[in-house]
Amino acid sequence: MSRGFTSSPRIALLAGVMLLSFVGLGVRLVSLHVIDRDELMKFVVKARRQSIVDNARRGDILDARGAVLATSSTQVIVGVDPRGLRKEDEAKWPELARLLNIPLPQLRVIFTTRRVRRTAPPASAPGSSASLALALPEGTDEDAVPAATPLKAAEASPSAASAFTFTLPSVSTPDADGKEDDPEADTVLDDATDDNGYREIGWAKLSDHVDEDTYAKIMALGIKNVYGQEVYRRSYPHNGLAAHVVGYVNKAGLPVTGMEAYADFYLRGSNGWREGERDGRGRELAQFRTRKVPRVDGYTVALSIDSNVQSIIEDELATIARTYQPQKATIIVSDPRTGFILGLANYPSYDLNDYSKPGADGRIDLAAQRNIAVTDQYEPGSVFKIVAASGAVEEGLATPSSLFDCSIDKIEYKGKVRSLPPEDHHFEDPKHVTLAEVMSYSSNRGAAQLAMKMGEDDFVHYASLFGFGARTGFPIGGEIAGTMHTPGSPGWDGQTITRMPMGHSVSVTVMQMHQAMSVIANGGLLLRPQIIRQISDPSGEVISRYDRPAQVRRVVSERTARIMAQMLMGVATTHGTAPEAAIPNFQVAGKTGTTQKIINGKYSDRHHVASFVGFFPASRPELAISVIVDDADAHAPGGVAYGAKIAAPAFKHVAEQLIQYRDIKPVYEPNRRLLVMEGGRQ
Q: Kindly report, residue by residue over 102-122, the tens digit of the pLDDT.
A: 899 888 888 888 777 655 444
Lowest mean pLDDT among 196-210, 482-496, 598-612, 665-679: 665-679
- Is the confidence at residue 276, as pLDDT, over 90? no
Averaged over 386-399, what is the pLDDT? 97
- Is the confidence at residue 544, as pLDDT, over 60? yes
- Is the confidence at residue 328, as pLDDT, over 50? yes
Q: Tell me, what's the pLDDT at 273? A: 77
Q: Using pLDDT thresholds of 50, 70 and 90, give the confidence band for residue 504.
A: very high
Q: Tell me, what's the pLDDT at 406? A: 94
Q: Tell me, what's the pLDDT at 363? A: 82
**Separate counts of helices (H) and strands (E) for the chain:** 19, 29
Q: Tell me, what's the pLDDT at 77? A: 86
Averaged over 567-576, what is the pLDDT? 94
Q: Tell me, what's the pLDDT at 255? A: 95
The rounded distance, in Å, linking the Cα atoms of 63 and 342 is 9
Work out the angle between the directed axes of helices 93-100 and 104-112 (0-180°, nearest 10).
120
Query: Cα–Cα distances in Å, from 177 out to 47, 138, 205, 273, 658?
Result: 9, 35, 22, 15, 60
The pTM assigned to this predicted structure is: 0.79
pLDDT tens-digit map of 603-626: 999 999 999 999 999 999 999 999
Q: Tell me, what's the pLDDT at 205? A: 85
- Other Cβ atoms less than 10 A from the Cβ of 678: the count is 18
| Mean pLDDT score of the chain | 84
Q: Tell me, what's the pLDDT at 677? A: 36
Lowest mean pLDDT among 193-207, 336-350, 491-505, 655-669: 193-207
Q: Tell me, what's the pLDDT at 154? A: 30
Lowest mean pLDDT among 273-287, 291-305, 639-653: 273-287
pLDDT tens-digit map of 171-193: 454 443 444 444 456 666 655 66
The rounded distance, in Å, linking the Cα atoms of 647 and 313 is 12
Q: Tell me, what's the pLDDT at 40? A: 66
Query: Cα–Cα distances in Å, from 457 out to 308, 444, 461, 462, 494?
Result: 44, 20, 6, 9, 14
Averaged over 236-246, what is the pLDDT? 96
- Other Cβ atoms less than 10 A from the Cβ of 359: the count is 9
Q: Using pLDDT thresholds of 50, 70 and 90, give the confidence band for residue 278.
A: low
Q: Using pLDDT thresholds of 50, 70 and 90, give the confidence band for residue 130.
A: very low
The rounded distance, in Å, linking the Cα atoms of 319 and 331 is 12
The rounded distance, in Å, linking the Cα atoms of 621 and 196 is 77
Q: Using pLDDT thresholds of 50, 70 and 90, give the confidence band for residue 41.
A: low
Q: Using pLDDT thresholds of 50, 70 and 90, give the confidence band for residue 70.
A: very high
- Is the confidence at residue 546, as pLDDT, over 90? yes
- Is the confidence at residue 242, as pLDDT, over 90? yes
